[in-house]
Amino acid sequence: MSDRYFYSTAAKWSFVGFTVLVLSTWIASAGFEHVDMALFGYYIAAVICMIGMVVRLTLFFARPATSQVLKRSLKQMKAEKKRASKAVAATTVNNIVLQKFIWERGWYRWTQHMLIAWGCLGSFAITFGLTFQWMRFDLIDIETYQIVVFNIPTIKMAAHGLFAELVYNGLNITALMLLVGVLMALYRRINDQDVKVTQRFEFDILPLLMLLIVTVSGLLLTVSYVFFGGFIHHELALFHQLTVIIFLCYFPFGKLFHLPVRPMAASVPMNYREVEADETRVCAGCGTRYATDNQVEDVQAILQAQTIQLGLSDGTQLSDYCQPCRRSMRVKMQLNLMNGQLPTHPVDTNTGMSMPGFGRPKETKGEAKDETPVR
Amino acid sequence: MNKVMYLEFERCIGCRACQAACRECGDHEGLERNYVDYIDFSENRQTFPMICMQCKNPACAQVCPANAIQITPEGVVLSASEEKCIGCRNCTFACPFGIPKFDFEKNKMYKCDMCYDRSKHDIAPMCASVCPSDAIRFIDHDEMMQLRRQRVQMNMIEGKKPSQDDKWNYVPEFFGVYSD
């Protein structure tokens, strides 16, 4: 990706995003009539968050591997509309909504993740809805409120009814979900020895602490006006706003960035395999089925785009072979038991030199002496 | 990290102690991440151990659409981050050495990380510490070079004997994250 492409794409989509947000506020607030200036800090932070997200996503989708998923998904959507939509719907429910794969990793992790994920999404929906004025409450009469969405009046509710109470306390409910989930996650991060092997403070612990401080400061607002008659409510409100602003600015650049990226998982069964029987690609070595044709094509296209040369002298690629065959080939190369195909390029391993065994380039005598290992 | 992994495939006796040890390593959740395979079962019963080469520019990481495969400051290529891995299995098809494994139930990829919690402190990975025949070793770079020289002098090759010119192409592999 060239610098020019990055700057122009990021700038273009940031501008589009900003325009859409401001326009949506203009429409939803009846020409800025209902704008709540108390939420202006959140507005600015949300715009910064959007721009950060655009920058990250521009970089992300410029990666050959990621753009290949997009290309393949569009192709599959066009080619097999019915099967594709069914597969996407099923994966979205299982993978994103119910997060069944996390259940397989343990009930504790599933519970904590469901609480954090839906707590976050719920809080975002309410916060952004109110900040951008997409949603507001109008007083119809002394006993009735009406929810107005995008300046369109919708349901009316009794001001002190159960539904109204649930709506007013939406953020409290999501905050409580988050509080429990974050505490569970922190407990695991502190006590689970396995997790500690690869965890990093700035990547794994910091986002949890940020969520915790946002949640606690938000809940303290409720505690202040319900139990203490609004004691230091103004200071708490400012502090909570500050924590949310920092959190929103951090959001596109930390661990929580997996939230906008994760839905890509919904495309996997549509693009590649839903069940084992979908695997039709036959190994060039042993003849077993090991992948789908789509996937091997994609992998080879990505490798080619990144100039990673894993070709063999007979024209096949290593990805044309199943995993056991590739392992066996590496050994046979080193033991000089291979007949026929040879790799055309060495593999750059971490020793900084070509591998004498599998990665040996096909060379004629006197050539490519610089690839010879250190003696 | 000053030591390297050194594999001599033909030393493998097929006991699979390395796999049993791998299952016990921290963060491996009872699943082995290495392999013990037959070189060619139709020919003989010779087995070989196989672990990740920790490539400098890993194909597995480059083909990952979610950028989930991270490399530690020491150069160890880790399993896909659980929060990012979308379960596409591109890594398993791109790896030139056939290393990454995939758990369909938990929808995540896992791979040899040289027992990162051990090797980052210069402690031998589990497989190297239990291998009874020294097929897998975690040794100093100088010691490894000495072993390789000996093999070349003796021209110890399983298959067709290479010529004087290219016999260095057939010395055992070493890898890891030697940084000195």
Asked whether residue B40 falls in the same domain as residue B126, the answer is yes
Asked whether residue B95 falls in the same domain as residue B145, the answer is no
Give the pLDDT of residue A211: 96
> Is B2:B140 a contact under the CB 8 Å cutoff?
yes
Asked whether residue B123 falls in the same domain as residue B174, the answer is yes
- Which chain B residue has the Cα nearest residue A193? B26
Give the pLDDT of residue B160: 65
Contacts of A258 in chain B (CB under 8 A): 66, 83-84
Subunit contact A101:B88, Cβ cutoff 8 A? no
Asked whether residue B102 falls in the same domain as residue B124, the answer is no
Q: Which of B110, B133, B153 is the last residue of a domain?
A: B110
Interface probe, candidates B88, B148, B168, B171, chain A, greatest A C-beta count within 10 A: B88
Strands A135-141, A144-149: pairing is antiparallel
Interface probe, candidates A88, A94, A334, chain B, greatest B C-beta count within 10 A: A334
Asked whether residue B43 falls in the same domain as residue B11, the answer is yes
Q: Is the pLDDT at A374 greater than 60, yes or no?
A: no
Asked whether residue B46 falls in the same domain as residue B123, the answer is yes
Element (H, E) at A120: helix A107-131
Give the pLDDT of residue B102: 94
Q: Is the pLDDT at A95 greater than 50, yes or no?
A: yes
Q: How far apart are CA B52 and CA B173, in angstroms?
A: 12
Q: What is the mean pLDDT of residues A42-58?
A: 95
Q: How far apart are CA B129 and CA A348, in angstroms?
A: 26
Going by C-beta distance under 8 Å and a sequence separation of 6 or more, which residues neighbour residue A234?
Answer: none
Domain with B166 in it: 1-50+119-179
Give the pLDDT of residue A275: 77
Contacts of B86 in chain A (CB under 8 A): 262, 264-265, 268
Which range among A121-135, B47-61, B150-164 has the greatest average pLDDT? A121-135
**pLDDT tens digits, one per residue of A11-37:** 999 999 999 999 999 999 989 888 888
Asked whether residue B44 falls in the same domain as residue B125, the answer is yes
Contacts of B178 in chain A (CB under 8 A): 350-351
- Which chain B residue has the Cα nearest residue A363? B166
pTM for the predicted model, two decimal places: 0.85
Q: How far apart are CA A212 and CA A199, in angstroms?
A: 18
Q: CATH code at B26?
A: 3.30.70.20
Q: Which of B110, B132, B150 is the last residue of a domain?
A: B110
More confident residue, A230 or B153: A230
Going by C-beta distance under 8 Å and a sequence separation of 6 or more, which residues neighbour residue A367?
Answer: none
Q: What is the mean pLDDT of residues B51-76?
A: 89
Q: Is the pLDDT at A1 greater than 80, yes or no?
A: no
Subunit contact B170:A336, Cβ cutoff 8 A? yes
**pLDDT tens digits, one per residue of A320-372:** 999 999 888 888 877 777 766 566 665 655 555 444 444 444 444 444 444 44
Asked whether residue B38 falls in the same domain as residue B125, the answer is yes
> Is B134:B149 a contact under the CB 8 Å cutoff?
no
Q: Does any CB of chain B come closer than 8 Å to the CB of residue A193?
A: yes
Mean per-residue pLDDT of chain B: 85
Give the pLDDT of residue B164: 65
Contacts of A265 in chain B (CB under 8 A): 86-88, 107
DSSP B88: -
Q: Does any CB of chain B come closer than 8 Å to the CB of residue A189?
A: no
- Which chain A residue has the Cα nearest residue B158? A335
Q: How far apart are CA A309 and CA A288, in angstroms?
A: 24
Q: Does any CB of chain A come closer than 8 Å to the CB of residue B44?
A: no
DSSP per-residue string spanning A13-33? HHHHHHHHHHHHHHHHTTTTT
Phi (first) and psi of residue A269, to 5 degrees:
-65, -35
**pLDDT tens digits, one per residue of B132-147:** 999 999 888 788 878 8
Mean per-residue pLDDT of chain A: 87
Q: How far apart are CA B113 and CA A219, in angstroms?
A: 42
Phi (first) and psi of residue A158, to 5 degrees:
-65, 135
> Is B124:B118 a contact under the CB 8 Å cutoff?
yes
Q: Is the pLDDT at A208 greater than 70, yes or no?
A: yes
Contacts of A339 in chain B (CB under 8 A): none
Percent of chain A predicted with pLDDT > 70: 90
ipTM, 2 decimals? 0.90
Domain count, chain B: 2
Give the gap in angstroms from C-alpha A302 to the nearest C-alpha of chain B: 6
Asked whether residue B155 falls in the same domain as residue B76, the answer is no
Asked whether residue B123 falls in the same domain as residue B172, the answer is yes
Asked whether residue B66 falls in the same domain as residue B27, the answer is no
Q: What is the mean pLDDT of residues A198-223?
A: 94
- Cα-based torsion angle of the residue sequence A235, A237, A242, A248 in order, rounded to the nearest 10 degrees: 170
B48: nearest CB among A264, A331, A365? A331
Both tokens of A169, joined, read 């306390």
**pLDDT tens digits, one per residue of B152-173:** 777 666 666 666 666 666 666 5
Q: Is the pLDDT at B179 greater than 60, yes or no?
A: no
Which range among A161-175, A308-322, A360-374 has the greatest average pLDDT? A161-175
Q: Which of B70, B87, B110 is the last residue of a domain?
A: B110
- Cα-based torsion angle of the residue sequence A277, A282, A283, A288 in order, rounded to the nearest 10 degrees: 50
CA of residue A222 relative to chain centroid, distance: 31
Asked whether residue B67 falls in the same domain as residue B39, the answer is no
Give the pLDDT of residue A356: 43
Phi (first) and psi of residue B94, to 5 degrees:
-85, -30
